[in-house]
Amino acid sequence: MKDKLLNEVLREYDAYRLQQQEALKQREAEVLSALPELASLRNSLVTSLAQKARALILNPGHSPAFEQEEQLAAQMKKKEAALLRENGYPEDFLTLHHRCPVCRDTGYVGSLVKEKCSCLIQQLLDRTYRFSELSNLDKENFDSFDEDVFPDFPLPDTNMTQKQYMKQLKTVLWDYQEAYPNNPRKNLLFTGKTGLGKTFLLNCLAKAILDKGDTVLKVTSYNLFEHLFRSSFGSIKEDSFALKDRIFDVDTLIIDDLGTETRRNNFTAEELFNILNERYLNQKHTFLSTNLTLADLRECYSDRVTSRLFDTQNTMILRFQGQDIRLRKQRS
Ligand SMILES: Nc1ncnc2c1ncn2[C@@H]1O[C@H](COP(=O)(O)OP(=O)(O)OP(=O)(O)O)[C@@H](O)[C@H]1O
Ligand SMILES: [Mg+2]
């Protein structure tokens, strides 16, 4: 199962690379026919390199100097850039485009020991866990954050309006992602009633972290514990890319809507403690959102969980407050 998925993804990587190489060839053909000067520069470099190669074959003991060609290549690059600019082509027109600059779309990094690139791990994560909710990130991210959806009415207990407050929260989280992954506090806990923008800001963070090349798993608490329960008690056959492992080794785990899961005696509290504790010991980031108050959380989960969650040395607790903007949108 795992290999089948891996092969499928790698085949797509290969196809994408081939497609990009083909597109580059076409762009080259277009430019070379439009700019004969560039074509003749390229030709002289190719001819010169071919002569050197022939000399090397005829006389293997002799090692020719390539200084002249290096100079020619450098000259050509400069000239190429200038010609493209002058003729209105984008700067990277004659460069191969990569989706992932780290592995150049091969899926693997490292020269001696090959390891999966984080982009490949993320692809496997997304496809294995259909409930991993990262599909909204093109709509919900720091660029699309719209402070005007929040009412400009004063909030009780603060000297700010909801809009000003959310603007400030956004800045705090923007700074957090700038410092990522070296944040002293690896956990974030968003608390607040429904429709206050918690999930939106979790998505902003998820996108920013993915863009840095780290892996992210975002699940609702309901789906997470449902899956864990069923895999512990037999009704899900786990493959070797098991959620149990991914929860611990993904760079950032996001648990949305803590408190909506089905309560199963100690099961949820124990599993949640294990997740928080293991990830804490491994210095990994875990972000949670909940509609529950801190007092509710204390009541629902064990002391071990809440002492981890409320440990302000490692957790930044952010309170969301004000009017439900989902309702507000509906009304207008
Ligand atoms: N900063 C924002 N800019 C634009 N739209 C937003 C913003 N924040 C929230 N929204 C929109 O408002 C609605 C409610 O936000 P969101 O789902 O994040 O609330 P929530 O606090 O997670 O609620 P719940 O507790 O019910 O899960 C969503 O449709 C979301 O897209
Ligand atoms: Mg939400």
What residues form DSSP beta bridges with 317? 189
pLDDT of residue 242: 75
Domains with residue ranges and CATH for the chain: 2-109 (no CATH), 129-331 (3.40.50.300)
In a mutational test of the pocket of ligand 1, which residue from 325, 327, 328, 331 has the highest number of ligand atoms less than 8 Å from its CB?
325
- pLDDT per residue as tens digits for the range 164-188: 999 999 999 999 999 999 999 999 9
213, 142, 132: which is closest to 173 by C-alpha? 142
Nearest CA to ligand 1 atom 18: 197
Atom of ligand 1 lying closest to residue 170 CA: 1
Nearest CA to ligand 1 atom 13: 326
145, 147, 166, 146: which is closest to 155 by C-alpha? 166
pTM, rounded to two decimals: 0.75
Q: What are the CA-CA distances from residue 186 to residues 78, 148, 274, 283 (Å)?
A: 46, 30, 16, 7
Residue 266 has pLDDT above 70, yes or no: yes
Tokens of 165: 């407050």
pLDDT of residue 104: 93
**Ligand 1 centre distance from Cα of residue 134 (Å):** 15
The pocket around ligand 1, CB under 6 angstroms, is made up of 140, 145-146, 149, 194-200, 257, 291, 325-326
Residue 280 has pLDDT above 90, yes or no: yes
- Name the closest ligand to CA 194: 1
Q: Which residue has the higher pLDDT, 52 or 271?
A: 271
Q: Mean pLDDT over residues 301-316, rounded?
A: 91
- pLDDT per residue as tens digits for the range 239-251: 655 778 889 989 9
Q: Which residue has the higher pLDDT, 95 or 175?
A: 175
Neighbours of ion ligand 2 (CB under 5 A): 199
Nearest CA to ligand 1 atom 16: 197
Residue 1 has pLDDT above 60, yes or no: no
- pLDDT per residue as tens digits for the range 128-152: 766 677 778 888 999 999 999 999 9
- pLDDT per residue as tens digits for the range 113-133: 888 898 998 888 777 766 677
Nearest CA to ligand 1 atom 7: 197
Name the range with the highest mean pLDDT among 17-21, 35-39, 52-56: 17-21
Nearest CA to ligand 1 atom 14: 195
